[in-house]
Chain A
Amino acid sequence: MKPGKAVKSKAIRRNRITAYTFLLPNIIGFLVFIFVPVIASFCMSFTSWNGFGNIEFIGLDNYKQLLKDTNFKISFINSILFMLISVPITLLISVLIAIALNRGIRFVKVFRTAVFLPYVTATIAVAAVWQLIFNPSMGPINGTLMKLGIDSPPGWLSSPSWALISVSIVYIWHSVGYYMILFLAGLQNIPDYLYEAAELDGAGPITKFFHITLPSLSPVLFFTTIIGVINSFKVFDLIYVLTGGGPGRSTHVLVYDIYNTAFKQFEYGYASAMAYVLFLVILIISIIQFSGQKKWVNY
């Protein structure tokens, strides 16, 4: 018993030394440049500070203030809506595209590149192009709609009721390529014999999709759902250049609000409090996803 334990603890110690040697370059950078700022910003959320002079500790005041802040409420709802619209549609479209581009098709490299193209295009260029596409009177979308006899087509980015949807459309279009790659990867790990066996049993494409593709893809699906939710809450650049949060406050999302509060109004403490509420939301959603995974994810 005793010598065994000693050997074990010695092995642990040796492993630990090796592990930290490998971790060293990364962990120093991580602790200093990521972890410390995270903690510091958490502390800052209990203070009132504009970047100059003394940092005043004000306890939970920022968080209390958030409960009364209609601006925050609107951004919060917008962020949730944005996530609910964009994540499922993005994932659905990218799964379908990935299946279509998985095998048995010519020019696969060309098609895959086409779908991936939006993702490598700079956000500013994407925004500039979509602003013109969405242009209410001169843009091609409304031009087509009017030719089809629709007299008052939506105002897209310039209409408060359509702006969030328009931004979501651009976001979906923009990120489909990213998720397609992940799904393609998942699809390539599904062994061919599963399909062949199913075909022998006379299974059609729909049966094959629900009985083979989807279950085999579930680990990737789980992974992309989590990443998708995180990414959708973090959308900033696209909104910054597409609408600037407008019209009115219809596309004011949380991260946009955080940026505005910190860098236009210079209320660093308040902005940090907002950010930690957002962190909490993402954390809760992720925990729910993690605890639910056993039910539907096949490992």
Chain B
Amino acid sequence: MNIATEAQVYTPEVKKKKKFAVGQAIKYIVVILVSLTMVLPFVWMLSASLKLETEIFGFPIKWIPETFRWENYKEVWTAVPFHIYYLNTLKIAVITTILVIINSSLAGYAFAKIKFPESNRLFFIYVATMMIPYQVMMIPQFMLMKQLGLVNSHWALIILGAFNPFGVFLFRQFFLSIPDELLEAARIDGLSEFGIYWRIILPLSKPAIATLVIFSFMHSWNDFLGPLIYLTSDHLYTLQLGIQHFITEYNTEYSLLMAAAVSAVVPTIIVYFLAQDHFIKGVANTGIKG
């Protein structure tokens, strides 16, 4: 470490610095350009949501609305029961996420840290089901939910979200990277398996938990097909369904559509921001041993 920095000192300083500065400048320009293309549609959405309908089209694009029409938001939230859609989606996303964390981490622990004969075979079945498109399972799943009396209730969506093999896969990979010696030491100390899971594994897995929180929350939040099939009554609708409702009813009113979309996106960004630091570390440990 020291040697490396010292080596730098002895190189012709001016030249190096210039080269460094140019390279750095190019890097910044590229990164900023890419970021802009990523954000542009989002910004457009934001700007359109505050515009008059007639202002939206046309080229060149007016990025800043002539007058800020906050009424668009007011109209979105009053024209349809948007706050109900919001609460419904929040409820589904939060409960799903909590359940998925609990049952996936338990299962992931069994697959990663307990040696039993069917482990690999069973795990393979889990992974294989991830390759089957959701559309295949929808009809039998619907019939099953119907038999259980869960159609037209949020529980159908919560249950389907909570038993996602992805979570098990993620936790298994993460737990595999935790050294076995740590567990052995705890076993010798007389800690039960559950104790190990609860006291040692989970505290070490905060990044993995954060990762799954984001994925699971976002998946529930943005799910369209599930609510479309399972929810019948308007008062149970989720945001994604609510917005769809909007498109058919206000076919060309893009300003309202955008206001609805902006309103819908806020919580996912908050969740991403809160979990961002853990997030990156969490995936690091799961990705490697894949």
A and B touch in the complex (CB under 8 A): yes
Identify the A interface with B (CB < 8 A).
12, 15-16, 18-20, 22-27, 29-30, 32-38, 40-41, 44, 51, 97, 100-101, 105, 109-126, 128-130, 132-133, 135, 138-140, 143, 173, 176-177, 181-182, 184-186, 188-189, 193, 196, 199-200, 219-220, 222-224, 226, 230, 233-234, 236-237, 240, 254-255, 258-259, 262, 268, 271-272, 275-276, 278-279, 282-283, 286, 299
In the bound complex, residues from chain B placing their C-beta under 8 Å from that of A140 are: 59-61
**Contact pick for B144, options A12, A33, A116, CB 8 Å:** A33
Structural contact, A177 and B129, CB atoms closer than 8 A? no
Structural contact, A25 and B38, CB atoms closer than 8 A? no
Structural contact, A283 and B136, CB atoms closer than 8 A? no
**Contact pick for A196, options B4, B193, B279, CB 8 Å:** B4
**Cβ of B202 under 8 Å from chain A:** no
In the A-B complex, list the 3 residue pairs whose CB atoms are closest, starting with the nearest.
A125-B261, A185-B284, A223-B290
**Contact pick for B280, options A97, A105, A110, A185, CB 8 Å:** A185
Structural contact, B128 and A105, CB atoms closer than 8 A? no
Most buried by A among B3, B45, B129, B136: B136
Structural contact, A124 and B240, CB atoms closer than 8 A? yes
In the bound complex, residues from chain A placing their C-beta under 8 Å from that of B35 are: 110-111, 114-115
Structural contact, B261 and A262, CB atoms closer than 8 A? no
Also in contact, A122 and B58, with CB within 8 A (given A33-B144, A36-B140, A114-B39): no
**Contact pick for A220, options B31, B160, B290, CB 8 Å:** B290
Also in contact, A173 and B264, with CB within 8 A (given A26-B104, A122-B240): no
Structural contact, A275 and B265, CB atoms closer than 8 A? no
In Å, the complex CA distance between A29 and B273 comes to 31
Structural contact, B41 and A275, CB atoms closer than 8 A? no
Q: Which residue of A lies closest to B286 (CB)?
A: A185
Also in contact, A125 and B258, with CB within 8 A (given A29-B162, A120-B272, A188-B281): yes
| Shortest Cβ gap from A197 to chain B (Å) | 9
Structural contact, A34 and B163, CB atoms closer than 8 A? yes
Structural contact, B272 and A219, CB atoms closer than 8 A? no
| Shortest Cβ gap from B31 to chain A (Å) | 5
A-B contacts, 21 of them at CB < 8 A, read: A22-B110, A22-B114, A29-B159, A33-B160, A38-B129, A40-B140, A41-B137, A105-B31, A110-B35, A113-B276, A114-B36, A115-B35, A121-B45, A122-B222, A124-B244, A143-B59, A186-B287, A219-B290, A223-B287, A226-B290, A299-B289
Q: Which residue of B lies closest to A170 (CB)?
A: B41
Structural contact, A133 and B41, CB atoms closer than 8 A? yes
In the bound complex, residues from chain B placing their C-beta under 8 Å from that of A15 are: 114-116
Structural contact, B225 and A236, CB atoms closer than 8 A? yes
**Contact pick for A37, options B4, B56, B137, CB 8 Å:** B137
In the bound complex, residues from chain B placing their C-beta under 8 Å from that of A185 are: 280-287
Structural contact, A29 and B284, CB atoms closer than 8 A? no
Structural contact, A117 and B136, CB atoms closer than 8 A? no
Structural contact, B257 and A115, CB atoms closer than 8 A? no
In Å, the complex CA distance between A274 and B100 comes to 30
Also in contact, A126 and B38, with CB within 8 A (given A12-B117, A33-B159, A112-B276): no
In the bound complex, residues from chain A placing their C-beta under 8 Å from that of B34 are: 97, 100, 115
Q: Which residue of A lies closest to B37 (CB)?
A: A173
Structural contact, A182 and B283, CB atoms closer than 8 A? yes
**Cβ of B102 under 8 Å from chain A:** yes
**Cβ of B132 under 8 Å from chain A:** yes
**Contact pick for B128, options A27, A186, A234, A283, CB 8 Å:** A283
Interface size class of B (residues with CB under 8 A): 35 or more
Structural contact, A286 and B131, CB atoms closer than 8 A? yes
| Shortest Cβ gap from A232 to chain B (Å) | 12
In Å, the complex CA distance between A224 and B286 comes to 12
Structural contact, B284 and A189, CB atoms closer than 8 A? yes
**Contact pick for A33, options B7, B163, B257, CB 8 Å:** B163
Contact string against A for B residues 71-107, beta-carbon threshold 8 Å, 1 for contact and 0 otherwise: 0000000000000000000000000000000111011
Structural contact, A279 and B133, CB atoms closer than 8 A? yes
In Å, the complex CA distance between A128 and B131 comes to 29
| Shortest Cβ gap from A72 to chain B (Å) | 14
**Cβ of B27 under 8 Å from chain A:** yes
Also in contact, A268 and B265, with CB within 8 A (given A23-B107, A97-B34, A234-B133): no
In the bound complex, residues from chain A placing their C-beta under 8 Å from that of B138 are: 262
**Cβ of B204 under 8 Å from chain A:** no
Structural contact, B283 and A30, CB atoms closer than 8 A? no
Most buried by B among A105, A118, A128: A128
Structural contact, A35 and B38, CB atoms closer than 8 A? no
Given contacts A115-B34, A140-B60, A275-B133, 7 further A-B contacts (CB under 8 A): A123-B240, A124-B240, A129-B41, A189-B285, A199-B4, A219-B289, A279-B131
**Contact pick for A200, options B4, B132, B162, B222, CB 8 Å:** B4
In the bound complex, residues from chain B placing their C-beta under 8 Å from that of A126 are: 41
Also in contact, A173 and B38, with CB within 8 A (given A124-B240, A236-B225): yes
In Å, the complex CA distance between A101 and B35 comes to 11
Structural contact, A41 and B117, CB atoms closer than 8 A? no
**Cβ of B182 under 8 Å from chain A:** no
Structural contact, A30 and B59, CB atoms closer than 8 A? no
In the bound complex, residues from chain A placing their C-beta under 8 Å from that of B283 are: 181-182, 184-185
**Cβ of B168 under 8 Å from chain A:** yes
**Contact pick for B287, options A124, A128, A182, CB 8 Å:** A182
| Shortest Cβ gap from A242 to chain B (Å) | 13
